[in-house]
Structure 1
Amino acid sequence: MSIRYELISEDNISCIKDLCNELMAYQQSKAHIRPELFDSMCFETRMIPSVQSAKANFILVAKDGNEMVGYVYSNISPKETYSNEFATFFDLDSVKNEDVGCLSQFYLKECYRNTGIGTVLFERSMDWLDSFESIGDRFIFVSNGNDSALKFYLGKGFKVSHQILDGFITVLRNT
């Protein structure tokens, strides 16, 4: 296994379409609260709108040879982005600055988990978010049933803030 990491430009996000769709299917397979909400979630409905509405984007893929085996997507967005027709993800008044940092999507193919690749993707994502002096609040939203992801983020210093949509999503915060 020879893993290398590659930044993906916003213009080239279509190269992670399959991984993004695998993530949505994985989240749905784990969900025990309203899994049907994932029926309409895919690359076109999640990744593209998020990239387009963000002020800054960070997309890093892990490759084993020429095969993409995982990715992390983080962004800087206005805090108001997280109050929409789907849900209000956090109390906007609790965020001091106008923008927030969010680790928005993170996926690693199963056979590459627990190898350290996820930690590299996570740490590089956090380094990128930390490079913005104006960002005081960082969030991660974990879908219900994804206990391994929740444990991973808790081990990296994030704390559970609250749940939304009757437990469909657990909101993690690290300020």
Structure 2
Amino acid sequence: MNITYEVIPDNEIACCRELCNELMAFQKSKANMKPELFDNMKFETRMIPSIKSAIHNHIVVVKDDDKPVGYVYSNISPKETYSNDFATFFDLSTVTKNDVGCLSQFYLKEEYRQHGIGSTLFNLSMKWLQQFDDVEDYFIFVSNGNDIALEFYKRKGFSVSHDILDGFITVLRSNRKLP
């Protein structure tokens, strides 16, 4: 493996299209409730709107040679962004600042897992999120059935806050500076 990490600007997100669509298919394959909700989730309906609605975006692509094999997408967004027609992701009154940080999407092809690459992507995301002094609350949303991801984030210092959509999504939260 010849692994490199590259921060890409918003206007180059097309390189994440295939990986984002793989993430949505992976989440559907793991879902033990309402897997059909993933049928309309893809790059054009998830990543592009999220990037457009965020105040700041951070996308890190991991490559093996020149082939993208994973990515992490994080953003800083107004807390109101997380109350929409789909769901209210957290009680807005519990967030004291106007903006929140979110590790929004994280995907690594299976053959690249268990090599520390995911931890590196996670750490790059958290380092970027923590540079915003006006953000105190960080969120990660894990789809049902993705227990490996849930345990990964818990080991990294996030705690389960609550479930939404009758358990379809588990909300993880941290309101402290993570290492």
Which TM-score band applies after superposition, normalised by the shorter structure? over 0.9
- Deviation at residue 8 of structure 1 after TM alignment: 1.0
Q: How does 1:154-169 map to 2 (within 5 A)?
A: 154-169=154-169
CA distance in 2 between counterparts of 1:138 and 1:33 reads 26
Output the aligned Cα RMSD.
Answer: 0.4
Q: Which residue is 1:138 aligned to?
A: 138
Letter in 2 for 1:163: D
- Deviation at residue 125 of structure 1 after TM alignment: 0.2
Letter in 2 for 1:117: I
CA distance in 1 between counterparts of 2:78 and 2:129 reads 14
CA distance in 1 between counterparts of 2:98 and 2:24 reads 29
- Alignment pair present for 1:90 and 2:68: no
- Deviation at residue 42 of structure 1 after TM alignment: 0.2
- Deviation at residue 21 of structure 1 after TM alignment: 0.2
- Deviation at residue 102 of structure 1 after TM alignment: 0.1
Q: Which residue is 2:69 aligned to?
A: 69
Deviation sequence 1:101-120 (CA, Å, 0-9, x none):
00000000000001000000
Q: Which residue is 1:48 aligned to?
A: 48
**Runs ≥4 in structure 1, deviation > 6 angstroms?**
none
Q: Which residue is 1:18 aligned to?
A: 18
Deviation sequence 1:117-149 (CA, Å, 0-9, x none):
000000000000000000000000000000110
CA distance in 1 between counterparts of 2:58 and 2:102 reads 10
- Deviation at residue 2 of structure 1 after TM alignment: 1.3
Q: Which residue is 2:147 aligned to?
A: 147
Q: Which residue is 1:102 aligned to?
A: 102
CA distance in 1 between counterparts of 2:124 and 2:144 reads 25
- Deviation at residue 33 of structure 1 after TM alignment: 1.1
Q: Which residue is 2:129 aligned to?
A: 129
- Deviation at residue 19 of structure 1 after TM alignment: 0.2
Letter in 2 for 1:33: M
Q: Which residue is 1:30 aligned to?
A: 30
Deviation sequence 1:43-71 (CA, Å, 0-9, x none):
00000000000000000011000111100
Letter in 1 for 2:72: V
Q: TM-score, normalised by structure 1?
A: 0.99
Secondary structure at 2:84's aligned position in 1? coil
Structure 2, unpaired ranges of 5+: none
Secondary structure at 1:27's aligned position in 2? helix
Aligned length: 175
CA distance in 2 between counterparts of 1:43 and 1:8 reads 16
Q: TM-score, normalised by structure 2?
A: 0.97
